[in-house]
Amino acid sequence: MSSPATLDAILSLSKRKGFVYQSSEIYGGLNGCWDFGPLGVELLRNIKDSWWKAMTYRSDIVGIDSSILMHPRVWEASGHVGQFSDPMIDNKTSKSRHRADNLIEDFITRLRNKGKSEQADGVEHALASANSNEDLHAIIISNCIPDPISGTTDWTEVRNFNLMFETHVGPVADAANVVYLRPETAQGIFVNFKNVMESARMKPPFGIAQIGKSFRNEINTKNFLFRTREFEQMEMQFFVKPGTENEWFEYWRTARWNWFTESLGIDAAKLHRKPHEKLAHYAAAAEDIEYHFPFGWGEIEGIHSRTDFDLGRHQEFSGKKLEYVDTASKDRFTPYVIETAVGATRTFMAVLCDAYREEILPTDDGGSETRSLLKLKPSIAPITAAVLPLVNKDGMPEAAHSIVSNLERWFRVDYDTSGAIGRRYRRQDEVGTPFCITVDGQTISDSTVTLRERDTMQQDRIHVDALAGEIQHRMLQ
């Protein structure tokens, strides 16, 4: 029997075991920012490596690593200066600020919880057809939606609030030297399109991939790593000949879904596709892949068919041609783009939630015990194998150390001597270590150990010389 993850259970495990800590915790924390601990950094790195391999270990995609600070005109061309904003409303009594659409959504949820489904349907319909800040304001006022803090309906108008963090280059902080912390990694790819195409001798269809930090001054930073102010993205822009974008969009929809299920081992029943109902004016198609988090469905990746909008805007704003010219046929075009944009840190949270289990197991005395485990795909687990000498004497620690140094050439290995063997197995289960190797009296006489699998708890006797190959083999299954 196993129970599903709650957000509290994930938060508690994260802190207790060193996956994720609150940023600047000893100073009371900084909202919307998190630090990855020793196990978290390994898991995050493994997720990023898996994506990097899936996206760039192929001849038609290359990677880059562009700077976080970019020329401010980039963000004018991309539309972020003018349009990257959320509709905000302030409560005059509590002075709290809310995203107007979220305030309405939370109100709809409360109505449904109270069984007022007819009213909830009405408000939901009004929200779906709202086209302006005035429409959002009207919904809040006409439904007397109260401020969750003060309980009053003492609201300001709805205003737009830009989500980009602003800073300045050089010592003088004035409007002439404003720069932004990038809110997405994609623009670093677009502005390097020509550099990459020419220096790496790429021809459409080809892609450019990048992993890196992005920053958004999100108003509501709820739900742990789901919506944070500093996060990591893994984005790929695939440049194609106009007219071929639909087939490539289909290709990437399938490829990206398969990465979640096959490479990360996420349960397909907890994933779904959500096509965008309202498309941006330049978009030909767009779809999100959502994961069923403990708080409900949430986007983890967007796949967008973006026409030549981005390259076209950068041509207009920079005055530089961003075209592909076929030297033989003299064919020339501005490529269309299929974008795959996934959050590394948000995926990390989906992976943790998906892997978390609490199993009730029978004990020898007829009772039961709870086993917490992370059923992570072995290839992304922070620790691949733990080597556990049964006792701290009789040559066992020496034999165990020799196994550790052999396995460390290929895998991340832990060595643990403290406590009863059962407790040590539980500690490794809880952090998702797929294999435990126990060194016992027999190891000293015949060089065999037991290899225990996390999920089945089954143990097999294996010769130490065969261990690395056996682990490798099981990781590929």
Residues that bind ligand GAP (CB under 6 A): 184, 186, 216, 218, 227-228, 231, 233, 235, 299-302, 339, 341-343, 345-346
Amino acid at 439: V
Q: Note whether 85 and 162 are within 8 A (CB).
A: yes
CB of 415 to ligand GAP, least distance (A): 35
Q: Where are the alpha helices (DSSP H) in 24-116?
A: 38-56, 72-77, 80-83, 100-113
The residue (of 340 and 433) whose beta carbon lies closer to ligand GAP is 340
Amino acid at 173: A
User: 3-state class of 176 per DSSP?
Assistant: helix
CB of 398 to ligand GAP, least distance (A): 47
Q: Which two tokens mark 323?
A: 């075209």
CB of 112 to ligand GAP, least distance (A): 26
- Chain position carrying tokens 């796949």: 303
The residue (of 159 and 227) whose beta carbon lies closer to ligand GAP is 227
The residue (of 30 and 462) whose beta carbon lies closer to ligand GAP is 30
The one-character DSSP state at 343 is: E
CB of 427 to ligand GAP, least distance (A): 30
The residue (of 229 and 452) whose beta carbon lies closer to ligand GAP is 229
Burial of 366 (0-12, 13-18, 19+ CB in 10 A): exposed
The residue (of 236 and 467) whose beta carbon lies closer to ligand GAP is 236
The residue (of 122 and 312) whose beta carbon lies closer to ligand GAP is 312
CB of 218 to ligand GAP, least distance (A): 5
The residue (of 101 and 218) whose beta carbon lies closer to ligand GAP is 218
The residue (of 229 and 424) whose beta carbon lies closer to ligand GAP is 229
CB of 183 to ligand GAP, least distance (A): 7
The residue (of 293 and 435) whose beta carbon lies closer to ligand GAP is 293
User: 3-state class of 204 per DSSP?
Assistant: coil
CB of 235 to ligand GAP, least distance (A): 6
Burial of 398 (0-12, 13-18, 19+ CB in 10 A): exposed
- Distances in whole angstroms, Cα of residue 440 to Cα of each of 397, 427, 459: 10, 19, 13
User: 3-state class of 255 per DSSP?
Assistant: helix
Measured CA to CA, the distance from residue 323 to residue 95 in angstroms comes to 50
User: 3-state class of 218 per DSSP?
Assistant: coil
Measured CA to CA, the distance from residue 154 to residue 96 in angstroms comes to 11
Measured CA to CA, the distance from residue 373 to residue 455 in angstroms comes to 8
CB of 474 to ligand GAP, least distance (A): 31
CB of 300 to ligand GAP, least distance (A): 5
Q: Rg of the chain's alpha carbons, rounded to an integer? A: 26
The one-character DSSP state at 145 is: P
Interstrand relation of 20-22 and 385-389 (parallel, antiparallel or unpaired): unpaired
Measured CA to CA, the distance from residue 174 to residue 178 in angstroms comes to 7
**Closest residue to ligand GAP in the complex (CB):** 343
The residue (of 228 and 372) whose beta carbon lies closer to ligand GAP is 228
- Residue 146: asked if its preceding bond is cis (omega within 30°), the reply is no
CB of 305 to ligand GAP, least distance (A): 13
The residue (of 84 and 333) whose beta carbon lies closer to ligand GAP is 84
Q: Note whether 333 and 373 are within 8 A (CB).
A: no
Q: What element of type H or E holds 180?
A: strand 178-180
CB of 293 to ligand GAP, least distance (A): 12
CB of 343 to ligand GAP, least distance (A): 2
Amino acid at 392: N
The secondary structure of 364-402 as a DSSP string is TTS-EEEEEEE---GGG-S-SEEEEESSSSTTHHHHHHH
The residue (of 181 and 399) whose beta carbon lies closer to ligand GAP is 181
Q: Note whether 235 and 189 are within 8 A (CB).
A: yes
- Distances in whole angstroms, Cα of residue 318 to Cα of each of 164, 180, 195, 313, 437: 21, 18, 14, 8, 59
